[in-house]
């Protein structure tokens, strides 16, 4: 069977979001967080559908009324533990040219947090019809979308610290994990990054906070100033990226994204702000910004990396208080027919 995991920039039908509520960890900051969600929805709905899931009928009624004149937005009821759709939502994969949604197990980033509802959310939404009539397969292997970055040409970029961590799939060797990636997603080549992790990150180093494909030949990555506590780790990652080669033997084009100036929460803990957590959709890129001087540099560099896309800066300062950002909140659903890698 021919399988292929599409790159994020390939044509999509929708983006999934899980709405925050007062009973969640967002409760105390809901008044600052909901406007960020609305900004994300407004940006995405200019280009494609938005699938919103909510935990209560009250929120379903409220949001359905709010977006009643927006045909690109739908609101669905599905209980949750948290709102990080990147890691609990379905992964898109083409099998013989047809889209299949893969629902992998989720264990709360290595059993750190409660996750029973999050592990069921994709199945709940699929049964309700949120993803249309696309076939979905449940997989009993633990895998999070934020740990995967593909070029759409069967190459995967990931981190050893997450995918090889025994708190996900204990007992699995590197070779066994590579075999699983080939079996489920058609991944033939895995690039394992050995360095790079942000303070405040509780995912064991998801790749979508560190380095991202902008196209099959270009990787955007986090770069820290010498005085930053992340310098040594991110410099080691940069050196590894510089030594990588594409399947044709050419080096990758590398686009450094500055690490934002340190942002701390009320307890003095540094938060994992990163510009690598951007979201690529149809004809646009949503870029997290944080009200710091580096915002303009990151926007300019991503404009260079995506010359055919419109750049939408989204202020995500409120989001990182829960240790994630824009890409972590979202999961794209690709178009139903594979028209070939881009």
Give the catalytic positions in this structure.
328
Which residue has 């310098």 as its token pair? 231
**What is the secondary structure of 102-143 as a DSSP string?**
EEEE--HHHHTS--TTGGGHHHHHHHHTTTTT-EEEEEEEE-
What is the rounded distance in angstroms from the CA atom of residue 297 to the CA atom of residue 69?
36
What is the rounded distance in angstroms from the CA atom of residue 274 to the CA atom of residue 209?
6
| Strand intervals (E) in 41-188 | 49-54, 73-77, 91-95, 98-105, 135-142, 149-150, 155-159
> Checking DSSP bridges between strand 310-315 and strand 284-289, what pairing results, if any?
parallel
Residues 6+ apart with CB under 8 A from 129: none
**Token pair in block for residue 168:** 């996900």
How far from each other are the two terminal CA atoms of the chain, in whole angstroms? 21
Radius of gyration of the chain (CA): 19
**Token pair in block for residue 114:** 């409660």
Q: How many CB atoms lie within 10 A of CB 250?
A: 9
User: What phi and psi values does residue 337 have, to the nearest 5 degrees?
Assistant: -115, 135
């Amino acid at each position: 069977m021919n399988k292929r995991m599409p790159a994020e920039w390939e044509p999509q039908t929708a983006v999934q979001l899980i709405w925050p509520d007062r009973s969640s960890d967002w409760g105390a900051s809901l008044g600052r967080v909901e406007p960020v969600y609305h900004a994300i929805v407004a940006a995405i709905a200019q280009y494609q559908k938005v699938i919103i899931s909510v935990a209560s009928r009250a929120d379903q009624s409220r949001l359905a009324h709010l977006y009643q004149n927006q045909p690109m937005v739908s609101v669905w009821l599905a209980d949750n533990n948290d709102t990080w759709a990147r890691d609990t939502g379905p992964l898109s994969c083409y099998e013989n040219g047809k889209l299949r949604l893969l629902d992998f197990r989720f264990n709360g980033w290595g059993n750190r947090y409660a996750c029973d509802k999050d592990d069921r959310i994709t199945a709940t939404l699929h049964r309700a019809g949120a993803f249309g009539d696309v076939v979905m397969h449940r997989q009993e292997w633990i895998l999070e979308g934020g740990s995967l970055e593909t070029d759409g040409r069967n190459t995967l970029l990931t981190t050893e610290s997450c995918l090889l961590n025994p708190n996900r799939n204990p007992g699995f060797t590197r070779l066994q994990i590579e075999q699983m990636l080939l079996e489920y997603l058609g991944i033939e080549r895995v690039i394992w990054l050995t360095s790079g992790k942000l303070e405040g990150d509780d995912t064991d180093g998801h790749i979508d906070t560190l380095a991202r494909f902008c196209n099959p030949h270009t990787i955007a990555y986090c770069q820290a100033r010498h005085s930053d506590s992340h310098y040594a780790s991110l410099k080691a990652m940069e050196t590894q990226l510089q030594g990588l080669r594409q399947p044709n033997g050419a080096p990758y084009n590398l686009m450094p994204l500055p690490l934002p100036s340190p942002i701390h929460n009320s307890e003095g803990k540094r938060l994992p702000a990163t510009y690598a957590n951007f979201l690529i959709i149809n004809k646009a890129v949503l870029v997290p910004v944080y009200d710091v001087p580096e915002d303009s540099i990151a926007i300019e560099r991503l404009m260079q990396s995506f010359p055919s896309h419109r750049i939408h800066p989204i202020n995500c300062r409120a989001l990182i208080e829960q240790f994630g950002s824009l890409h972590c909140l979202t999961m794209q659903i690709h178009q139903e027919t594979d028209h070939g890698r881009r």
